[in-house]
Structure 1
Amino acid sequence: MTMNGSFMKKDSKSAGERTGRRAFIGLCFLFGFVILFLRFGYLQVLQAETMKLKARQQYEKPVTLASNRGAIVDRQGKPLALNLDVSSVYATPSAIDDPAGVARQLTRVLGVPRESLERRLRAKRDFVWVQRKIEDAQVKRLIDLDLPGVDILVESRRFYPQGTLLAHVLGFAGIDSQGLEGLENGYDEHLRGQARQVVLQQDALGRIIIPESRRKPQALSGHAISLTIDEVIQYIAEQALDQAVKATKARGGAVLVMAPKTGQMLAWALRPTFDPNHIPQASPEQWRNRGVTDPYEPGSTLKVVLAAAALELNRVKPDTLLYAGDGEIPISGTVIHDHEKAGWVTFREAVQRSSNVAFVKMTWDLGKEQVYQFLRTFGFGEKTGIDLPGESIGILSRPDQWSLRTLPSLAIGQEIAVTPLQLLTAVSAIANEGWLMRPFLVREISDYQGRSVREHVPHIRRRPISAETAKTVTDLLVNVVEQGTGKRAAVPGYRVAGKTGTAQKIDPETGTYSSTKLVGSFVGFVPAEDPRLSILVVIDEPQGPAWGGVVAAPVFRKVAEQTLRYLSVAPGDESRGAALRSRPAPDGYQPNWE
C-alpha cells in the first residue's frame, strides 16, 4: 500500500514535468511563429520593393549600350553619316569551364591578344566584353564554333557611306558613340541619342540568356543634322584638288567653297585625307582640319585686303600713279623684289601685276595703325565663329610689337598667318558689298520625328568697307584675271574676280624663308557682278613651278566652271536669285549613298 502510493506520487510528478515541458515547447513554437509572421509581414509589406529588386538581380543583368546617333545629311538630304547594326561579342566567365581553350579559339577569330582575353574570361564577373562591333565574317565563324559562355549582342556603329568625302568636316565618333572630331564632336550633344539598356537574363547556374526580343533593343536616336554642304560640289572640289596635288606632286592642299552672301559653306576639301570608317589606319596628321587649325602666310592674296583699305581711306584711286622703280626696294638690311621691273604704274596695274614694291610704298603711306585696324576688321587675328571645334585665331601681332620690317612684310603677306577659312571669309566680304559674314556648316537640326529643333540663318559680323569700295576692288580683281597674273582662273562666259598668291614657307631647320618650300594659292569669286561662289585654292609645297597663277588658278577655274553649270548659272547671268538650285551632277560623279 505504501509502496503503491509512492509509485503514484512519482507518476504524478513525471506527468506534471511532461506537461510543463510541452507547454514550454509550445510557447517556443508560438513565439517562433510570431517572429516568423512578423518577419514575413515586414518583408512582404515594408520591404516588398527591395526584395523584388534583389530577386531581379539574381536572374537579370542590365547592360548599357551606345545610343543611335542622329544622321548627318547634305543640303539635298543625301546621307553623309548614319548608323549600321553590328554585332558585339561578350562572355559569361562563370559558364566557361576552360578559359584558356576558349580564349585560344576567340583569338583565332577576333585577333584579340590571348593573354588579356584569358584574364577577362577568368574574372569573377557575370559579364565581360570580348570585342565590340565586329565584322559579319567574324560573326559567322563564332556562330559555327558555338563556344560555351560566349554570345552576341547587336549594337550601333557609325558609318560614313562616302568614305573620305568631307572627312575633315564630319570627323568621326568613337566605339561608345561619342563624337571625337569634326562636327561629330562639335554637335555631339545633339547627335548623341539616349543610352540604351538591354536586360540579360541569368539561369540558375548564372549563365546569361538573351531573349530573342532583346537582342536588338530599341532606343531613341539623336537629332539629325542637315548641312550647308552640297555633296556634288564637294565631289567637284575634291576631284579637282586630287588632280592638282597629283600633277604638282604637292605635299597637300585645300579647296574651300562658300556662298559669299550668306556665309554657307558649300564644299571643304583637304589633302591629305582619311577614311572615318577606318580610324585605326589614320593618324592625327591626316584627320586634322587644316582649314581652321593651321594658319599659313598668305603671300600676295593678302593684297586684296590691303587694296580695299587704301581705297576705303581714299589714299589711292585705281588710276593713282605709283613708282615701282627697277623692281626692288631695300628694307632693313634686306631687299624686297618684284618678278619684273615696272617703273611708273597705276594702282590698277600694281594689283594686276601683284607689284611688291608698289604695295610696300602704299602700306607705308597707310601706316601701321591703319593697316592693323583693317586687318582686324576683316577678321584676321580672331576666330570666324564657324561651327567647328579647334578653330585657330591665326597670328597677327599688335603694332607695338612690330619691327621696322613688319609693315613692308605685311604688304607682301608675310609676318602674318591666316587660316584658309579666314582668308576666304575676308575676300567674300568684298563679294558681298563689304559685309563680313559668319561662315557656317549646319543649316538645321531636327529631332527623330523630323521636327525642326534649330535652324541656322546667315549672320552679319560687321562691314569693313562700303559697297562702293567693294565694287572698285572687284573691278581691280577682274582685271587681275583678264589681264594679269590670274589669267588661268578665267571661266569662259563669266567675269571672274580674283587674286594669285605665292608664299615662301619658313624652314624649321634654319628659321628663315625657304627657297624651295612654297605655297601657291588663288582666291576669288564668280560671277563678279552678283557672286554665287567664292573659292579659295591652296597648293602646299608643289614640286616645280609654284606660282599661284600656275598651280592654283586652274583649280579655281575647274571648280567654278563645273559648279556654275551644276547650279544652272547661265553665262553672263547676274543670278539674282539667292537660293541654290541643283542640276545633274558632272560627268564621273558616282555617289554610293544609297
Structure 2
Amino acid sequence: MVGLILIVAMSAVLLLFISRFVYIAASGHVGSVNLTNKTEQKYSQNQVIKAKRGTIYDVSGNVLAEDSSVYSIYAVLDQNYNSTSGKSLHVTDKEKTARVLSKYLPLSSAQILTYLNKKNQFQIEFGSAGKNLSLATKKKIEAENLSGIQFTDTSSRLYPNGTFASHIIGLAQLETPEGKKATDTTDDAKEKLTGILGIEKYFNKSLTGTDGSEYSKRDSFGYELPNTKIVTKKPKNGSSIYLTLDSRLQAYLETLMQSVQDKYKPKKINAVLMNAKTGKIIAASQRPTFNASTKDGIGSMWRDSLVEDVYEPGSVFKVLTMSAAIDAGTYKPNEYYKSGSVEVDDRTLYDWDRSGWGWIPYSQALPRSSNVGMVKIEEQLGQKRFAKYLKKFQVGEKTGITLPGEVAGSLDLKSPVTQATTAFGQGVNVTVMQMMKYLSAVANNGEMVEPQIVDHTVSSSGKSTSYETKVAGHPIKASTAKSVRKLMEQVVYADYGTGGSYQIPGYRVAAKTGTAQVAGTNGQYLTGENNYVFSVAGMVPADDPEYICYVTVQQPTITPPSESALMSGIFNPLMKRALKYESSDTKTATNSISMPKLTDQTAKAATKTAEDKGLVVSQVGSGSKVVQQLPAADEKVIKGQRVVLLTEGAMTMPDVIGWSKNDVLKLAEITGRNFKITGTGYATSQSLLAGDVIPNSDEVTIKLKEP
C-alpha cells in the first residue's frame, strides 16, 4: 500500500514537472523572464568598433597629434582554453613565462609567478605593472612566443613633437562618457578619448567621430557559432584639423623661448608670430609649458595664457592711442610739451624717465615712449572720441579665435585718471590675442583681422571646410595706419627711440616697446626693478608688413643686462627666419607637383620616376620592389622634397645625416620602428649605421641640430 502511494506521488510530481517544461517550452518564459531573449543575450556579442579620432596637422600636413594605442597584458590560466586544432591558448610553462615577463614588466619573476599560480581563475592581469605598455614593449613580449599571454589595446593620443605649441594643440585623454559610471562595463560606457585642452577640446566633437559596431553570435569560448551572420556597422572617423602653424617656425620659436627661459627664468613668456594680412597664427607659444608626449610640466601651467590670461599691456598700447589721435585729426606733431610729469586730478603721472627730456615735440612722444605725451594726446582727443576709437578697436571684447576659455579683458574710462593711464597702457586689461588683433589694423592699412589658428578641416568623407580670413572692422584709415608705422620706425631707427635693438639687416622694422607694472593681490603695483611685463611688438617690412611678432616677458628672476635682451633674443631671430622662409617659399611655390604613384614598381624605376620630377629619393629595404611610399601618391609636394621608398626584404637603415625632422618622421612612419628624435633642425648623428637592419625592438636615436 505504501509503495502504491509512493508511485502515485512520484507520478504526480513527474507529471507536474513535465507540464511545467511543456509550458516553458511553449511560452518561452519563466515568470517574467523571456528565455529567448536570455539565450540571445548569452550567445550574442555586440562589439563596438571604435572610430578613429581625427588627426591634427600643421599647415603643411605634418602630424601634430594622432591616434595611438597603449596595451595591457593578461594571462589565460584555464587549461581547457585551446584552439579548435588543439593548440594551447593558456599558460603552459609558468616558470618560463614568469622569468621572461620579468624582463619587460616592473615585477620580479617571483611576483609574476604569484599571479600565475592563482586558483580558479580563467585569466589574470598584473595590476598597474601590466598596463599602459608601449607598442615596442608589446612587440618584444610577442616575439618571445609565450603561450597564453594576450593583450588588450586602449586608445591613446600621440604627440610626436613633445613640447610644441602644447597649450594650443592641447591634450586628449581617456574619460568615461557623461552620464555613465566608470564601473559600467557596457560598450557605450567605456572610456573614450576626450579633449581637455586646446584644439583637442575646442574641436572635440568633430575630432571624436562616431563608433561603429559588429553584431555576432559566439560560444562561451568566443568562437563564432556556425550558420550565423556577422552584421557590421562601420564607424565614422573624426575630422582632421589643419592648423595655421608652420612646424619649421614653431620648433624654432620653442628653442628661442626655452633659451630665454633658461637664461633669465621669468615667471611667464608669451610670443606670437602672425601673418599681418590674413590673421593666421604661424607660430605661438608660452612659458611655462609642458611636454604633451610625457605630460612633464603640465602641473605648472594649465591655462592657455595667450587667450585666458589678462594683463596690462603697457606702452605697446600707446599705438592705439596714437592711432586714434591721428585718425581723429587732433594730433599736433610739431607742437611741444613739457615731459617728465603731468598732473591729472589729484594724481601725478610720470614718464619712465622721471626727469623727462625737457620740452619735446609730440612727434617724439611715441618713439621715446613718453607717458606724459600720451596723456596730453589723449586729453586733446577727448574722452568721448577716445572711448569711441577703443570701441572701434573692440578693446574689452573676445577675438573669437577657435581656442577654448578665451576671456574678454576689461576697460575703465570712468575717471580722468583711468582715461589717462589707459592712454599709456595701464589700467586696461587685454589678452595676447587681442593685442594681435589691434596691431593688425596698423599693419594692414586700417583693416583689422581676427587671429586665426585653424586653416581648414577635412571630414572622414573627404569634405574640406576652409576657415577664411575674417575682417573684424576698420577702426582707422589707411593713411592713419601708414603714419603710425612711420612713428614706429622712429622707435627703431631714431637716436631717441627705445627699440634700436630690433633692427634687422635688409629690412625696415616698425616696432613699439613696452614696460608695464604688475598689479599685486592687494591692488597695488609691485615694486622692484624686475616686477614688470616687458614687451615688444614689431611689423616687417614696415612699409607693407607681412608679419607681426609680439613678445611679452614677465618678471624675470635673473636681471637682464637690458630690457631688450629679454625680447630681442626671440623677436629678431624668429622674424629673420620667417622672412627667409617667405622668400624661399615664394621661389618654390611654382615648383609644386603632384606626387607620382611609385608602389609596385621596381626600386630602380621608381627612383628614376621620382628623380625626374626633381625629388630626392631614399630607399629603405633590401628588396627590389617598392611596397610603400611617403609622401603618398597624389599629395602636393615641392621639387627637392625627400621621398622615402620601402621595398620588400630586410629593412635597412639609410644615411639620415642632413635630413630634416619631417623626413626622419617619414622614416619612422613607413617602417613602424621605434625612433627617438632629439633636438631641432637637421640630423647630425644616428645610433644605427647606414646599411644595418633596423631592429624590431631596440630604439634608434637620431640627433638634430640647428644649422
TM superposition score category, shorter chain reference: 0.7 to 0.9
The reply to whether residue 260 of structure 1 matches residue 276 of structure 2 is: yes
Are the aligned partners of 2:268 and 2:553 in contact in 1 as well (CA < 8 Å)? yes
- The residue number in structure 2 matching 1:462 is 473
1:154-210 superposed Cα distances (whole Å, 9 cap, x missing partner): 333210111111111000101221111000000011111223557899865xx6789
- Residues of 1 paired with 2:215 and 2:505: CA distance? 65
- The residue number in structure 2 matching 1:158 is 157
The reply to whether residue 496 of structure 1 matches residue 495 of structure 2 is: no
- The residue number in structure 1 matching 2:433 is 421
- The residue number in structure 2 matching 1:313 is 328
Q: Quick check: 404-413 or 162-171, which moved more?
A: 404-413
- Residues of 1 paired with 2:320 and 2:638: CA distance? 32
Q: Counterpart of 1:507 in 2: which secondary structure?
A: coil
The reply to whether residue 134 of structure 1 matches residue 118 of structure 2 is: no
Are the aligned partners of 1:200 and 1:209 in contact in 2 as well (CA < 8 Å)? no
The reply to whether residue 480 of structure 1 matches residue 491 of structure 2 is: yes
User: Counterpart amino acid of 2:300?
Assistant: E
Residues 374 and 341 of structure 1: CA distance in aligned 2, closer, same or farther (over 3 Å): same
- Residues of 2 paired with 1:106 and 1:60: CA distance? 34
Q: Counterpart of 1:253 in 2: which secondary structure?
A: strand
1:294-342 superposed Cα distances (whole Å, 9 cap, x missing partner): 111111000000000111111114x3323134x2234434441342532
Residues 356 and 93 of structure 1: CA distance in aligned 2, closer, same or farther (over 3 Å): farther
The offset of 1:491, in angstroms, is 1.2
Are the aligned partners of 1:235 and 1:589 in contact in 2 as well (CA < 8 Å)? no
Are the aligned partners of 1:80 and 1:593 in contact in 2 as well (CA < 8 Å)? no
Q: Counterpart of 2:152 in 1: which secondary structure?
A: strand
- Residues of 1 paired with 2:448 and 2:403: CA distance? 18
The reply to whether residue 71 of structure 1 matches residue 71 of structure 2 is: no
Structure 2 unaligned spans of 5+: 1-6, 80-89, 91-96, 175-191, 588-636, 642-657, 667-707
- The residue number in structure 1 matching 2:309 is 294
The reply to whether residue 525 of structure 1 matches residue 509 of structure 2 is: no
- The residue number in structure 2 matching 1:576 is none
Are the aligned partners of 1:566 and 1:582 in contact in 2 as well (CA < 8 Å)? no
Residues 509 and 462 of structure 1: CA distance in aligned 2, closer, same or farther (over 3 Å): closer
Are the aligned partners of 1:253 and 1:271 in contact in 2 as well (CA < 8 Å)? yes
The reply to whether residue 178 of structure 1 matches residue 167 of structure 2 is: no
- Residues of 2 paired with 1:523 and 1:264: CA distance? 16
Q: 1:323 aligns with which of 328, 331, 337?
A: 337
Q: 2:207 aligns with which of 165, 188, 191?
A: 191
Q: Counterpart of 2:475 in 1: which secondary structure?
A: coil
The offset of 1:67, in angstroms, is 3.6
Q: Quick check: 73-82 or 150-159, which moved more?
A: 150-159
Are the aligned partners of 1:501 and 1:548 in contact in 2 as well (CA < 8 Å)? no
Q: 1:536 aligns with which of 543, 546, 550?
A: 550
The offset of 1:511, in angstroms, is 3.1
Residues 161 and 272 of structure 1: CA distance in aligned 2, closer, same or farther (over 3 Å): same
- The residue number in structure 2 matching 1:14 is none
Are the aligned partners of 2:455 and 2:467 in contact in 1 as well (CA < 8 Å)? yes
- The residue number in structure 1 matching 2:519 is 506
Are the aligned partners of 1:190 and 1:222 in contact in 2 as well (CA < 8 Å)? yes
The offset of 1:546, in angstroms, is 7.9
Q: Counterpart of 1:520 in 2: which secondary structure?
A: strand
Give 1 or 2 for the bigger CA radius of gyration. Answer: 1
- Residues of 1 paired with 2:450 and 2:371: CA distance? 31
TM-score relative to the length of structure 1: 0.77
- Residues of 2 paired with 1:248 and 1:471: CA distance? 36
Are the aligned partners of 2:44 and 2:218 in contact in 1 as well (CA < 8 Å)? yes
The offset of 1:84, in angstroms, is 2.1
User: Counterpart amino acid of 1:153?
Assistant: T
The offset of 1:111, in angstroms, is 6.9
- Residues of 1 paired with 2:435 and 2:209: CA distance? 36
- Residues of 2 paired with 1:507 and 1:584: CA distance? 55
Residues 252 and 122 of structure 1: CA distance in aligned 2, closer, same or farther (over 3 Å): farther
User: Counterpart amino acid of 2:506?
Assistant: G
Residues 87 and 32 of structure 1: CA distance in aligned 2, closer, same or farther (over 3 Å): closer
User: Counterpart amino acid of 2:545?
Assistant: P
- Residues of 2 paired with 1:41 and 1:529: CA distance? 91
- The residue number in structure 2 matching 1:382 is 397
- The residue number in structure 1 matching 2:459 is 447
The offset of 1:66, in angstroms, is 5.4
Are the aligned partners of 2:69 and 2:157 in contact in 1 as well (CA < 8 Å)? no
Q: Counterpart of 1:522 in 2: which secondary structure?
A: strand
Are the aligned partners of 2:73 and 2:151 in contact in 1 as well (CA < 8 Å)? yes
The aligned runs of 1:22-33 (5 Å cut-off) are none
Q: 1:245 aligns with which of 258, 261, 278?
A: 261
Residues 125 and 379 of structure 1: CA distance in aligned 2, closer, same or farther (over 3 Å): farther
TM-score relative to the length of structure 2: 0.66
Residues 570 and 186 of structure 1: CA distance in aligned 2, closer, same or farther (over 3 Å): closer
- Residues of 2 paired with 1:363 and 1:107: CA distance? 74
- Residues of 2 paired with 1:583 and 1:416: CA distance? 50
Are the aligned partners of 1:519 and 1:546 in contact in 2 as well (CA < 8 Å)? no
- Residues of 1 paired with 2:482 and 2:119: CA distance? 75
- The residue number in structure 2 matching 1:356 is 371
Q: 1:275 aligns with which of 283, 291, 304?
A: 291
Q: 1:552 aligns with which of 567, 573, 587?
A: 567
Total equivalences in the alignment: 537
Q: Counterpart of 1:173 in 2: which secondary structure?
A: strand
Are the aligned partners of 1:84 and 1:158 in contact in 2 as well (CA < 8 Å)? yes
- Residues of 2 paired with 1:221 and 1:424: CA distance? 35
The offset of 1:529, in angstroms, is 2.0
The reply to whether residue 83 of structure 1 matches residue 67 of structure 2 is: yes
- Residues of 2 paired with 1:457 and 1:179: CA distance? 24
- The residue number in structure 1 matching 2:184 is none
- Residues of 2 paired with 1:430 and 1:200: CA distance? 64
Q: Counterpart of 2:429 in 1: which secondary structure?
A: coil
Are the aligned partners of 1:72 and 1:227 in contact in 2 as well (CA < 8 Å)? yes
Residues 342 and 219 of structure 1: CA distance in aligned 2, closer, same or farther (over 3 Å): same
Identity %: 28
Greater per-residue helix proportion: 1
Residues 553 and 407 of structure 1: CA distance in aligned 2, closer, same or farther (over 3 Å): farther
Q: Quick check: 122-131 or 57-66, which moved more?
A: 122-131
Q: Quick check: 244-253 or 543-552, which moved more?
A: 543-552
